[in-house]
C-alpha cells in the first residue's frame, strides 16, 4: 500500500521550507531533550491543531489528543490509562508550568454523547469514553426548549470546566496548583471563525482573546 501522496508532498515541503529554519532547534532538542512549559489536552478532531493555532515551534508544546479533550478522574488502577500517563510524565518529569484543556465548536464527540445517550447498541469504546461528559451535562440540566446548537456549545464549554475539575483530582497536580507551580487553563476554539476564547474561573465565563497579547495566567484554576 502506497503512503498517501499528500503526506509525501507535505513532507517534501517541510524539508525544503521549514526544516532549514528549525534545524538548529531540532539538533538541540535531540541533544538535550524536550523541556516544554505548556501541555495541551485537545480533541483529536482534524480541524483543531494546537501547533497550528498557537504557531508553535518544535519542543514548545506537549500535546495529548483524544475524543472531546477529556481527562478521566484520578484512578490509579491496574488498567492502562493513556491520558493519565501523559499527565504524569508532563507534570512530574517534564515539569510543565501550564496544562491547557482546549475544546472547540462543532465537536463530534460531544454531539455523539447527546445522540448516543441510552442507545441499545453502544459502541465498543466511544460511548463509554463519552460518559465522562455526564457530570457536565448534569450541570446544565435538561435540554428543554434550548436550541440544539446552543445546547451543544454550552456542553462543549461545560465539559472543559468539568475536565479542569478532574485534573484537580490528581494529587500531584492539585499540590502543584496550590503551590503556584502549575496553572490549569481552559480554552475554546471556534472552528468556523478561528476565534479563541479563554476561561475565567472567577467570572465563570469564556471570553475572546483580544488584540495581539497572550492570555495571562490569571485564569489559573484555584
179-193 pLDDT, tens per residue?
Answer: 999 999 999 999 999
Asked if residue 39 and residue 28 are part of one domain, the reply reads no
| Sign of the dihedral defined by the CA atoms of residues 198, 211, 180, 86, in that order | positive
The CA distance from 94 to 176, in Å, is 13
Asked if residue 59 and residue 3 are part of one domain, the reply reads no
Asked if residue 206 and residue 98 are part of one domain, the reply reads yes
Asked if residue 79 and residue 13 are part of one domain, the reply reads no
The CA distance from 116 to 126, in Å, is 9
Asked if residue 89 and residue 19 are part of one domain, the reply reads no
Q: Could you tell me which residue, 141 or 101, shows the higher pLDDT?
A: 101
Asked if residue 151 and residue 141 are part of one domain, the reply reads yes
Domain with 104, as residue range(s), is 34-219
Q: What is the band of 212 on the pLDDT scale with cuts at 50, 70, 90?
A: low
pTM (two decimals):
0.90
In DSSP terms, which residues pair with 40 in a beta bridge? Answer: 63, 100
Asked if residue 183 and residue 92 are part of one domain, the reply reads yes
Over residues 115-169, the pLDDT tens digits come to: 888 787 877 898 889 999 999 999 998 887 678 899 999 999 999 999 999 999 9
pLDDT for residue 218: 38
Amino acid at each position: 500500500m502506497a503512503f498517501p501522496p499528500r503526506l509525501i508532498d507535505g513532507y517534501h515541503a517541510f524539508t525544503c521550507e521549514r526544516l532549514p529554519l528549525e534545524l538548529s532547534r531540532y539538533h538541540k532538542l535531540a541533544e538535550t531533550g524536550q523541556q516544554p512549559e505548556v501541555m495541551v489536552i485537545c480533541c483529536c478532531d482534524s480541524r483543531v491543531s494546537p501547533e497550528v493555532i498557537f504557531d508553535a515551534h518544535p519542543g514548545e508544546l506537549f500535546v495529548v489528543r483524544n475524543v472531546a479533550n477529556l481527562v478521566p478522574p484520578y484512578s490509579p488502577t491496574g488498567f492502562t490509562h493513556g491520558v493519565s500517563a501523559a499527565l504524569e510524565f508532563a507534570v512530574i518529569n517534564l515539569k510543565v508550568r501550564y496544562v491547557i484543556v482546549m475544546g472547540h465548536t462543532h465537536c463530534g464527540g460531544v454531539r455523539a454523547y447527546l445522540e448516543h445517550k441510552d442507545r441499545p447498541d453502544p459502541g465498543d469504546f466511544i460511548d463509554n469514553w463519552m460518559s465522562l461528559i455526564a457530570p457536565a451535562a448534569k450541570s446544565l440540566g435538561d435540554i428543554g426548549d434550548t436550541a440544539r446548537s446552543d445546547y451543544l456549545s454550552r456542553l462543549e464549554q461545560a465539559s472543559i470546566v468539568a475536565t479542569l475539575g478532574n485534573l484537580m483530582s490528581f494529587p500531584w497536580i492539585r499540590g502543584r496548583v496550590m503551590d503556584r507551580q502549575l496553572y490549569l487553563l481552559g480554552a475554546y476554539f471556534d472552528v468556523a471563525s478561528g476565534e479563541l476564547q479563554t476561561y475565567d474561573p472567577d467570572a465563570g465565563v469564556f471570553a475572546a482573546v483580544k488584540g495581539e497579547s497572550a492570555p495571562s495566567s490569571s485564569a489559573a484554576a484555584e
